[in-house]
Amino acid sequence: MRAIIYKPLLFVLSIISSLNIAINLLAQNGEDDPKIFDLSPFTVSENESVGYAATSTLAGTRIKTDLKDLGAAISVVTEEFMEDVGATDALSLLSYTANTEVGGNQGNFSGANDTGFGRFVQTDERTNPQTNQRVRGLLSADLTRGFFLTDIPFDSYNTERVTVSRGPNSLLFGIGSAGGVINNATKQAIQNNDFGEVGVRFDNYGSWRTNFDYNKSIVEDRLAIRVAMLNESQEYRQEPAFEDQTRFYGTLDWVILESDSALTRLRVNFEDGEQTGSPVEIVPPTISYDTWFEPILPNIAQYTGVTPEARVRAPSDGGGTWEFQALHDDPIGGHGRINTKTRPLTFRHVGIWYSERGATSPDVGIPGMNLAGYFGIGNWKSSDTAASSGLINTPLAAHLGLGPASPVGTIQDHRTASAYGDTNYAFGFFPSTLQNRDVFDFYNHVYSNGLDHVQRDFDAFNIALEQTFFDGNLGFEFAYDEQSYQTFQDFLFAGGMSTSLARATDITVHNTVWLPNGQLNPNVGRAMSWVRRPTQRTDMSDRETFRITAFAEFDLSENDGFLGWLGRHRITGLKNDYTRDTYHRATALLTHSTEFNMDSAQSSRLGNGGRRSINITAYTSESSLVGLQSMDDVRLHPIDITRPKHGDSFLWTYVDNQSAGAFNSGVAGDRMMHTANVDIVRSDVRPYGGPEGGGISQTTIEAEAIAWQSYFLDDHIVALYGYREDDTENFARNSTAETSVPIYFADGSYNQEFTALSPNPRPKVVGQPNDTQTWSVIGRYPETWLGELPFNLQAHWAQSENFNPVGVRSNILGGPIFEPSGSTEEYGFMISTDDNRYSIKFNWYETRVSNVNAGVSTNVANNAFGRINQYRDAEIANEIPFLTQLDLYAGDAASHPIKSYGQWYEAVLSALPQELKNTVNPRQVDTDGDGVWDEYDFDAIPNLEATRDLLAEGFELEFVANPTASWRILANLSQQETTFSNTAPLMFKITREYVQNSLAAGLGDFREDPNLERDAELFDEGLPLMLGPIAAQRAKDGQTSAEQREWRFTGVSTYEFQEGALAGWGFGGAVRWEDEAATGFVQLIDSETGAVIPDINRPFFDDGLFSGDAWITYQRPILDGKVNWRAQLNVRNLVGESGNIPVRTNPDGTVAVIRIPNPRTIYLSNTFSF
């Protein structure tokens, strides 16, 4: 934490000194023994809750207000409720609250999203699990502590209550998530009371948890302090997952000045904590060997409208050529010649291999060679033969046994791939995750086997000076809050690149017989996982807030006549200055050598990442799978290797066949096969889809708000109006024009000093409104006029809105996109008793969210000009004959309409929609001054995004009762139906036009990568995939949000015996029922447009969810009544799901993606209070 004490303390002390005179003047006519006004209007204490029922909140207007006087949808979870159910954090609590979903191994949904081509890698959800929640099926709610925005996960050790405010609420935050706010109120120091508590908890998986809480009154009526500590070691059913955390919290309450009608109070709290662990995996890894065992679904074209390629279709399926367990036995061929779905493996990167389980160092597995890895592709020209200069008698030629005239071409290493998920002929289908526990027991083991590591460090400081006058009818609060939150994430296989060629955590089969160095592969047929460029990421977030809150109350109800009808009123004003600084840094394992020129061999410099990235492969079957009859016969073990690290060195085979150029100082590679030492270095890199090496940003928000709450007609009508303005500015990392510091050092490594904040804010979206409003009305049944009822009856109506300042975003034509915004309408009624022992609230809602990111950002301009520049490089730098690019074309190359590089460039330019060309202004650039253009440059579209809208409609019933002092009950019944609409219309239009024009012009007949010499992919394989992610998101229009369950019910009850034979004993339980969820839909082909769309009238449902908990407690005084001992045994999921829970179902009804069921967990807690 930065030095944060002096600035706020000087600020507070200056105010205190000025207030001293005013307080003394007010006290001159006061009583000799003035009363202390302990009930602060700026806080809510734990004493204001009874059982599971809370009566007041700050979530309506930021001033303490009775819950019954607010129309917003607000639920309060008391400390007693959390203790009964055994909840300690968001992951174990939120599944009990209305219309709320949370991930994790005790959650009620996975929160998993398609991270690309049907893969559900939960990198972010496992790094920051506290944000893996969703309200009303919309979005993750903002997290706050004391209603200050936070990243810090809450824990029960220092929490008094948790408040869930569903939907937008501009009086809380005019900016933020339309999902709502989840606030934890931290414990407060209590005056004139000394007490403490020590708790110890164990569970059946070996976890233990100790917590300490102590409150001390230092000066009577004046000063109290409170400290709390937590030490926890959490173990899980999935071994070896764990999480350890230590946290320390302290707070004080100081009544500085007081009189009979005024009070000056200072409140301070701080927290410091650390969490470290290896998280669970609730979604198993994807298998990519399914098409190796089985051909593609025979009738898949009826769902997608596209006939699959022959090599994945069975011979009985219209001339397919698929072969059972096909191997790549062609030493010089590519994957197009293999009769199953495959992909290149290490490709142009360094690959290292762990052949043995438990290996501490890599080894390819060839006896006597001590060879750790090899260059993944030997790439010669099509005309090269074994007799070519530089090839004869090399290990390649010798081991392959090639004749002198044998063509060499491209030598590639391959692995199996799934035909589902990244192909246009399987659009809408997902590759399967592991589902058979005989293959791998993913309930009890994490496939990554503890290699994944995450660490969180955080601290927080809050100081508030409160002043009230006139018996609490006028007051203000000056508050300062600062928080720091940092995560370090190292997910070796799940945190690397994930592209169409690299599938993080996929389980695949090495089906190549020959290695790229010409030797036989000793591991052919073995299952394995691999990752390209394993990346470590550090993220830091610093938040600072100054806030002034003021209020005034006046009561006219005591007046006679008209004024008396005007009732009482409270006006609240807010001034808030907020700053958030973020910093992101990514480092990766790259390759370097002092023994040869790796720049030349890999045609890539260190800092650019790319081909200098390392590929890591670990085998996870003991032997070859060749000969097994089905996927169910496969047996896997977890990844079991020692993680490679900076400074490691290993032997590697490579060939340098680069033409003369900048990478090798103008001297061409010798084209010989070599073995040399390669070093692993950790370097800042340019992550794909992320900032170069590091990113930095700052968001500032200046907010002003006013709220007027009025109580008319003897409190029978309660009206609230709020207005708020938020002025935001966003700053990003500087550009090259704003600094003289170079991005890269001379060796190509990233220069960390380049990561600096730009002094210029990002442009604001023109026309974007920055004001939001809130209205609500409560109407109570007038018994005086209409007669008495046996209960209290009131109706409510409310509207509110907010927006989320995500910064400038551009559509595919460079136009501005408005900020995401939300609005909600709530209405219903509540029935309660006079003594508040019973209350039941009925609420209907409609919440709309506009312009949220759709999750796709296909950049057509980047694709088009990137391809042009690749082809220009092939033409000029590599001097590859143009007709070579048609090697894979099935027709006659000589008769193709495109016969030269110039015609190819013109065809690409013509395929681009004119309005896009007008936006990006393409131009030819001569980079070396030789008078010949070398590349196309164009104006980049900043922050390219596509958007969608959401609509949530539903119902919420909440019942809370305390029938007796011994019995407490809570139940909620909630409904939600959240649908998508208006997804990426412009991006889809432009991309589809480009793809259709390109294919019509014949561009799909050419190589996707023109510098690959033999058997690469055709452009027509990659072009349609550009539409895939957009079409996949657009297909969700009209669908409910993923994993949404329309109805859910929660019931919780506890009874404690106060007398008799069972005195001291207590019994309780909870049930959670959730409706069936639509996990997929049958697909149709639109007869008019040809588009593949889901038939929302034909969904595939799961069976719904049900779970039940039970607990038993016993308490009694010990040590002569000085200590109260309470023992509690909780069994969470005493009854519940025991099998796989579907997450995604394919259009043919086959379950593709699952999550594991929540484990049965038994907690034994002992608490000693004194």
User: Can you tell me the distance from the alpha carbon of 510 to that of 759, in angstroms, rounded to the nearest whole number?
Assistant: 51
User: Can you tell me the distance from the alpha carbon of 464 to that of 42, in angstroms, rounded to the nearest whole number?
Assistant: 10
Check residue 606 and give its pLDDT. 74
Residue 407 lies in a domain: no
Beta bridge partners of 748: none
Nearest residue to 505 via CA among 432, 447, 436, 587:
447
Residue 926 lies in a domain: yes
Residue 888 lies in a domain: yes
Residue 201 lies in a domain: no
Nearest residue to 852 via CA among 814, 821, 886:
821
Residue 402 lies in a domain: no
25, containing H or E segment? helix 6-27
User: Can you tell me the distance from the alpha carbon of 480 to that of 546, in angstroms, rounded to the nearest whole number?
Assistant: 5
User: Can you tell me the distance from the alpha carbon of 955 to that of 977, in angstroms, rounded to the nearest whole number?
Assistant: 9
- Cα maximum dimension of the chain: 113
Residue 647 predicted with pLDDT over 60 = yes
Residue 37 predicted with pLDDT over 50 = no
Torsion of CA 1090, 1092, 1094, 1097, to 10 degrees: 20
Residue 878 lies in a domain: yes
The boundaries of the domain holding residue 1016 are 860-940+995-1024
Check residue 563 and give its pLDDT. 77
- Pick the range with the lowest mean pLDDT from 71-75, 210-214, 384-388, 464-468: 384-388
Tell me the whole-structure pTM to 2 decimals.
0.89
User: Can you tell me the distance from the alpha carbon of 676 to that of 593, in angstroms, rounded to the nearest whole number?
Assistant: 8
Tokens of 274: 């650390």
> Scanning the structure block, which residue is given the tokens 């992101």?
584
Check residue 389 and give its pLDDT. 59
Residue 596 phi/psi, 5-degree rounding, is -160, 170
Per DSSP, the residues of 267-279 read EEEEEEEEEEEE-
Instruction: Name the H helices within 817-959.
Output: 860-876, 901-911, 914-920
Residue 907 lies in a domain: yes
Distance set, CA 862 to CA 82, 873, 991, 1138 (Å): 52, 16, 12, 48
Residue 481 predicted with pLDDT over 90 = yes
Sheet arrangement for strand 148-149: 73-78, 159-166, 180-186, 142-145, 148-149
Determine contact, residues 491/477, Cβ cutoff 8 Å.
no
How many domains are contained in the chain? 1
Dihedral angle sign, alpha carbons of residues 367, 368, 371, 377: negative
Residue 2 predicted with pLDDT over 50 = no
Tokens of 811: 């559509």
Please, how many CA atoms are within 13 Å of residue 816, restricted to the half-sphere of its CB? Answer: 12
**Burial status of residue 405 (CB atoms within 10 A of its CB: 0-12, 13-18, 19 or more):** exposed
State the pairing for strand pair 53-54/568-592. Answer: unpaired
Determine contact, residues 604/610, Cβ cutoff 8 Å.
yes
Tokens of 220: 């009577």
pLDDT averaged over the chain? 87
11 pLDDT band, cuts 50/70/90, is very low
- The 8-class DSSP code of residue 647 comes to T
E-state strands within 620-765 = 649-655, 673-684, 694-712, 717-731
Residue 414 predicted with pLDDT over 70 = yes
Residue 313 lies in a domain: no
Determine contact, residues 303/1147, Cβ cutoff 8 Å.
yes
Nearest residue to 582 via CA among 613, 615, 538:
538
State the pairing for strand pair 142-145/180-186. Answer: parallel
In this predicted model, what pLDDT tens digit does every residue of 1089-1103 receive, in sequence order?
677 888 888 999 999
781 pLDDT band, cuts 50/70/90, is very high
State the pairing for strand pair 614-619/350-354. Answer: parallel
Residue 423 predicted with pLDDT over 90 = no
State the pairing for strand pair 821-832/838-853. Answer: antiparallel
Determine contact, residues 168/823, Cβ cutoff 8 Å.
yes
628 pLDDT band, cuts 50/70/90, is very high
Tokens of 22: 């005013």
How many other CB atoms are found less than 10 A from the CB of residue 1088?
A: 5
Residue 394 predicted with pLDDT over 70 = no
Check residue 687 and give its pLDDT. 40
Check residue 1092 and give its pLDDT. 82
Tokens of 263: 């009070």
Contacts of 1142 (CB under 8 A, 6+ apart): 1077, 1079, 1102, 1151, 1153, 1154
In this predicted model, what pLDDT tens digit does every residue of 1134-1150 receive, in sequence order?
999 999 999 999 999 99
